[in-house]
Amino acid sequence: MSIVFKDVSYVYMPGTPFKQTALKKINFEIKKGEFVGIIGHTGSGKSTLVQHMNGLLKPSLGVVSVEDIDINGKGDAARVAKRKVGMVFQYPEHQLFEETVYDDIAFGPRNIGLDAEEIERRVRKALDFVGLDFNMFSGRSPFQLSGGQMRRIAIAGVVALEPEYLILDEPSAGLDPRGRETILDEIFKLHNSTGVTVILVSHNMEEVARFVDRLIVMHSGEISLDGEPRDIFRHSRDKLVQAGVDVPSVCTLLAELRGRGLPVEDIALTPEEATATIMAAMRRRDRC
């Protein structure tokens, strides 16, 4: 049970002077239940990559399959496979259009022909997941809400389709620090409570590293690194920079301290972990 890319290449505007190779022979597998972060600089190919997972873009070469079905094949099987993948685009609030929050979240479930009772159940559950009260929000116009609330409504609209694989392209972009943290916390909780596979795209390493089990780093249309965050940060700073990774400032701090003789051993991805690591190193030093 997985999403598999086999030798996937993608070229924008082939055969024109504007031709742009955005993906180069990509191979990887995302297994059901994983929580994966896809990171990389702007223009590295992250959005192009994930838009292949629900068939929005078709590979110029290669095959994308969801649970062993080529999603760009013909027939019902491909349609069913594609439906297992839910996609939250960058700035999804631009796609809100209904008069009420309820109708906006219900749009997808209605489209797939669910009955009224099931639709209401899904709208309630989806609102709950994004931390908004049904009674307070369902009758309001999405356009009267704050930017962060609109974003959450848009995410709820995809969650209401109950996808097995949930892809979010830069879900926290443009929000203030508190809004960013809230959204990511909610996605993390959703993953933990339902087991839904989450593929989270971000250009902010520090933001995703603490949540995910696995990081895929994109660099110039290729996967430059793929592994557990802790293992990725064991690479040297030079190697990380070469791979297109912005090294979190806590990692730089620890490396600096180590260089100056403080025996910090562990790798830290958050300020809290860095503090614990530094305290432990100081205790060790004082004992010597």
Amino acid at 104: D
Regarding 91 and contact with ligand ADP (CB under 6 A), the answer is no
Number of residues that bind Mg ion (CB under 5 A): 1
Segment (H or E) for 239: helix 237-242
What DSSP assignment string belongs to 49-98? HHTTTTTSS--SEEEEEETTEETTSSSHHHHHHHHTEEEE-SSGGGG--S
| Inter-residue contact 154 to 143 (CB < 8 Å) | no
Cα 217 to Cα 210: distance, rounded to the nearest angstrom: 15
Binding residues for ligand ADP restricted to 24-43, rule: CB under 6 A = 40, 42-43
| Inter-residue contact 277 to 265 (CB < 8 Å) | yes
Q: What's the min distance (Å) between Cβ of 173 and Mg ion?
A: 9
Amino acid at 54: N
112 touches, from Mg ion, ligand ADP, none (C-beta below 5 to 8 Å by class): none
Contacting range for Mg ion; rule: CB under 5 A; set: 30-38, 45-53, 56-64, 255-263: 45-53
Position of tokens 């965050």? 229
Number of residues that bind ligand ADP (CB under 6 A): 12
Binding Mg ion (rule: CB under 5 A), the pick from 44, 47, 172, 197 is 47
Q: What's the min distance (Å) between Cβ of 190 and ligand ADP?
A: 23
86 touches, from Mg ion, ligand ADP, none (C-beta below 5 to 8 Å by class): none
Position of tokens 């249309």? 221
Nearer to ligand ADP, 216 or 267 (CB): 216
Nearer to ligand ADP, 60 or 194 (CB): 60
Binding ligand ADP (rule: CB under 6 A), the pick from 3, 44, 225, 277 is 44
| Inter-residue contact 195 to 186 (CB < 8 Å) | no
Binding residues for ligand ADP restricted to 47-76, rule: CB under 6 A = 47-48
Instruction: Specify the 3-state DSSP secondary structure of 201.
Output: strand
- Name the residues that contact ligand ADP, by CB under 6 A: 12-13, 20, 22, 40, 42-48
- Name the residues that contact Mg ion, by CB under 5 A: 47
